[in-house]
Amino acid sequence: MPAPVIAVVGGGQLARMMAPAAAELGVHLRVLVEDPTTSAAQVVVDAPVGAASDEEALRALVAPADGPHAQVLTFEHEHVPNALLADLSAHGTPVHPGPDALVHAQDKIVMRERLTALGVPCPRWATLPTDPSEAARRLDAFLAEVGGSAVVKTSRGGYDGKGVRVVTSSSEVADWFAGAAEGGPALLVEEKVAFGRELAVLVARRPSGEVRTWPVVESVQRDGVCAEVVAPAPDLTDEEAAEARAIAVQVAEALGVTGVLAVEMFEVSGAADGTGAPGRHVLVNELAMRPHNSGHWTIDGSVTSQFEQHLRAVLDLPLGDTSARAPWTVMANVLGSSLDDLADALPDVLGAFPDARVNLYGKSVRPGRKLGHVNVSGDDLDEVRRRALAAAAILRGETPS
């Protein structure tokens, strides 16, 4: 009974959440984990330990000495040496998303250049020179151009608010200028968009070209990290939703993305987007080429979850229905907890919210760490949202009020 074998780089919660989907589809998952107790290693039978940057580990992940070869190599994070992927790909291992696509999720300058060339709406942006004093001059000029406040980003290595700094003066990133001059990641600056809210569109594309998007969601960030997702985004017109989905499809197709792509967007009013067009519009903020926090609602709220869809897409299997199962689903992240162990809160959270779909990642508690999430679905958005947030609060160790 040879099951399809998918090799996944990275042993965090995203790989963990692929495991249920793999079990249901009869797919063999092999996950390269950072250590044998990591989130995914707890629930994946075939979980060799190794670093994502280790060439031997990656080769053995795809073609182990004592197990079936993988049909495809994929990822739960983008921190993988691209040259190695290109080499594996050139030697016959399908890599999805491929290195030519993945680079746009690894390097924000490459991403901005490409999206701008495609005509995809982006915030105003500029690269900063390597020389610190030139970088400072360029940044101060940019700040003057965009109204005094901007976001400086490292081109590589950032996530969840790391590698991102909001500044009003070049002096606030002097340390980064020094880093870039010494061979650290290049820097770019983007206008600080006066956005109304953040939206996200999840799209899946498979090598043979089929593309499916899920309903557009609203993503609520706190301290630079996704705290809450509302699906679908409330008060979105059909035209806005169609525009956002069309941009995601355009990006997936133009960049040749395979697997799941998350496109994070700012929703801006016509006056702020610089086009002069009336109504609300979106600007692309970030890309992630893997299942993404903004899609955890799909586990319970959509016919096909982003995790199953990613597995289907990278195997070039037909994609699943992305319809919502309920009028509203709200996902609330559990970011840190005052409890030693989230399991201690299960009696309270399950007792208070029998309809809450609790998902715990098996991670030890650290401040602000993504430890789990809760999905609640229903007809009444206010009630759904209240329940999801209250359930997550119990898991964070807060006493229900």
- Residue 268 vs 342, nearer CB to a second copy: 342
Q: How far is the CB of 339 from a second copy (least distance, A)?
A: 10
The secondary structure of residue 173, as a DSSP letter, is G
Residue 372 binds a second copy, judged by CB under 8 A: yes
For residue 330, what are the contacts with CB-CB under 8 A and spacing of at least 6? 228, 229, 230, 231, 297, 375, 376, 381, 384, 385, 387, 388, 389
For residues 106 and 290, what is the distance between their CA atoms, to the nearest angstrom? Answer: 12
Choose, by CB under 8 A, the member of 51, 181, 326, 389 that binds a second copy.
Answer: 326
In the Cβ-directed half-sphere of 135, how many Cα atoms lie within 13 Å? 25
Q: Return the residues of window 21-50 that contact a second copy according to CB under 8 A.
A: 22-26, 28, 41-45, 47
Q: How far is the CB of 376 from a second copy (least distance, A)?
A: 10
Residue 61: both structure tokens together: 């992940």
Residue 73 binds a second copy, judged by CB under 8 A: no
Q: How far is the CB of 380 from a second copy (least distance, A)?
A: 15
Q: Is 145 annotated as a binding residue?
A: no
Contact characters 275-314, a second copy, x per CB under 8 A? ------------------------x---xx-------x--
Q: Return the residues of window 161-200 that contact a second copy according to CB under 8 A.
A: none
- Residue 277 vs 303, nearer CB to a second copy: 303
138 residue type, one letter: R
For residues 162 and 317, what is the distance between their CA atoms, to the nearest angstrom? Answer: 35
Stretch that binds a second copy, among 18-26, 80-88, 92-100, 162-170 (CB under 8 A): 18-26
How many residues interact with a second copy (rule CB under 8 A)?
Answer: 52
**CA distances, 362 to each of 41, 43, 298 (Å):** 10, 9, 20
Residue 347 binds a second copy, judged by CB under 8 A: yes
- Residue 162 vs 366, nearer CB to a second copy: 366
Stretch that binds a second copy, among 85-93, 197-205, 316-324, 385-393 (CB under 8 A): 316-324
Closest by Cα among 275, 279, 251 to 265 = 251
The strand pair at 187-191 and 150-154 is best described as: antiparallel
For residues 204 and 211, what is the distance between their CA atoms, to the nearest angstrom? Answer: 6
Residues paired with 49 in a beta bridge = 33
E strand or H helix at 248:
helix 238-255
186 residue type, one letter: A
Q: How far is the CB of 310 from a second copy (least distance, A)?
A: 14
Choose, by CB under 8 A, the member of 153, 357, 370, 396 that binds a second copy.
Answer: 357
Q: Is 192 annotated as a binding residue?
A: yes
- Residue 362 vs 397, nearer CB to a second copy: 362
34 residue type, one letter: E
Q: How far is the CB of 175 from a second copy (least distance, A)?
A: 35
DSSP 65-102: TTSPPPSEEEESSS-S-HHHHHHHHHTT--BSS-HHHH
| Residue 387, burial from CB neighbour count under 10 angstroms (0-12, 13-18, 19+) | buried
Task: Point out which residues bind a second copy (CB under 8 A).
Answer: 1-4, 16-17, 19-20, 22-26, 28, 41-45, 47, 299, 303-304, 312, 317-321, 323, 325-326, 341-343, 346-347, 350-351, 354-355, 357-365, 372, 377
